[in-house]
Chains A and B, each alone.
Chain A
Amino acid sequence: MENKKALVFGSVLLSGILTFSLYGIGSSIASDDSKHEHDREYEYRDKGTNYSTKSVGTNKLYMEECGSCHMAYPAQLLPTQSWQKVMLGLEDHFGENAELDAESHNSIESYLVQSAARRKGESRKLLRNLGNKTPLRITELPYFIYEHDEIPCRFITGNDKVSSLSQCSACHQNAEKGRFDEDDVVIPGIGRWDD
C-alpha cells in the first residue's frame, strides 16, 4: 500500500517536472521568433526542430539508394501518402530512373512510412495547410513555400552552386543531419542568411 502511494506520488511529480520543462522549452522557442509574429494564419513558431530523430543515418539502405543523386531527405519531411506516391513512381522519378529491386523497395518504403511526418508530434508543422493534398515534393509543402518565399531567385536558380530549392544541403549546413535551423543557413557565394 505504502509502496503504491509512493509510486503514484512519484509519477505525478515526474510528469509535473516533464510538463514544466517542456513548457519552458516551448515558450523560449516561441519568444525568440520575431519574423512570424504577424502571421497568425500560420503558426510556425516552434523552431530548430531536428527532423532526424528516427535518424536518417541509421538506415544504411535508404542512405545509399536514396542518397546517391541528392541528399537522403529526412523521412520526417513528407507525410506517409507522399512517400508512398514517390515510391510508386521510381521508374520515372522527376525524369530520372530510380528503380529498385523488390526487396530494397519494400524495405525502404516501410522505413519511410514508419518515420514520415505526422499530424501529431514535432513534424506536425510541416503538414499545416496541406489539406488532403499529396505532394511529391517537400518543396511543394505550404509550410516549405512559406519559409522560403523571401529568398531572391538569383540566390537559387540563378546560382549554379544551388540550382534549385530541392538541394537543401547547399544552404542548410546541417541538412544531412536533419537540422534546418535558419541560423545554420549559408547561401553559397552569398553568405550567411540574416534577416
Chain B
Amino acid sequence: MKKISVILIVTAACLSGLPAQASPEVDKLLQKYQQQGAAVAVPEQGKNLWYSKNGDRGCINCHGSTPADTGRHVRTNKAIKPMAASVNPERYQDSKKVEKWFLRNCKWTLGRLCTAQEKANTLDWLNSL
C-alpha cells in the first residue's frame, strides 16, 4: 500500500509537468523558439504531434511507440536510442543536432518544416519524460 502511494505521488509529480531535469541547452532552444514567435510550450500538444499520422508517416515510425524505449529506423532498421531524456541523458544536449533533426524529420514526416511552436511543444514534452 505504501509502495503504491509512493508510485502515485511520483506519477502525479510527473504528470503535473515538473521538468524532469534542468537542461541549459533545452532552455536555450525554448527561448530561441519564443523569439521566433512561439508562445509558452504546451507539452501535451507536443505529444499529440508525436503520435499523429500524416498518411503512413509519423514520428513513431522510427522512434517507436514509447519514447522510453529503443526505436528502429523504418528504412534501415538501425536501432535509435530512446528519446525520453530521463532514460537517455545524452538527448537534447546539442542545439545544432536538435535543429538538424527537426529539419529532416519534420520534412520527412509532415512534408513541411515544423513551426517554432511545434518544435517547442515537442522538445518540452520529450525532455520532460
Given contacts A97-B107, A99-B104, contact A69 B77 (CB under 8 A): no
In the complex formed, the residue of A with least CB distance to B62 is A69
Contact of B75 among A69, A161, A162, A170 (CB under 8 A): A69
State whether the Cβ of A95 lies closer than 8 Å to any Cβ in chain B: yes
Bound: A162/B77 CA distance, A? 7
Interface of A is mostly: loop
State whether the Cβ of B73 lies closer than 8 Å to any Cβ in chain A: yes
Q: Mark out the residues of chain A between 142 and 189 whose CB falls within 8 Å of any chain B CB in the assembled complex.
A: 160-164, 166-167, 170
Find out whether the CB atom of A70 lies under 8 angstroms from the CB atom of B104.
Answer: no
Bound: A71/B107 CA distance, A? 23
Find out whether the CB atom of B107 lies under 8 angstroms from the CB atom of A70.
Answer: no
In the complex formed, the residue of A with least CB distance to B77 is A163
Bound: A161/B79 CA distance, A? 11
State whether the Cβ of B51 lies closer than 8 Å to any Cβ in chain A: no
Find out whether the CB atom of B76 lies under 8 angstroms from the CB atom of A167.
Answer: yes
Find out whether the CB atom of A167 lies under 8 angstroms from the CB atom of B104.
Answer: no
For A164, list chain B residues within 8 Å (CB).
76
Find out whether the CB atom of B73 lies under 8 angstroms from the CB atom of A70.
Answer: yes
Given contacts A69-B73, A70-B73, contact A167 B78 (CB under 8 A): yes
**Interface membership of chain A positions 66-106, coded 1 if the CB is closer than 8 angstroms to chain B and 0 otherwise:** 00011100000000000000000000001111110000000
Find out whether the CB atom of B75 lies under 8 angstroms from the CB atom of A95.
Answer: yes
For B78, list chain A residues within 8 Å (CB).
69-71, 167
Find out whether the CB atom of B76 lies under 8 angstroms from the CB atom of A166.
Answer: yes
Bound: A94/B75 CA distance, A? 10
Query: What residues of chain A have their CB less than 8 Å away from a CB belonging to chain B?
Result: 69-71, 94-99, 160-164, 166-167, 170
Pick the 4 closest A-B CB pairs, nearest first.
A70-B76, A97-B104, A163-B77, A70-B78
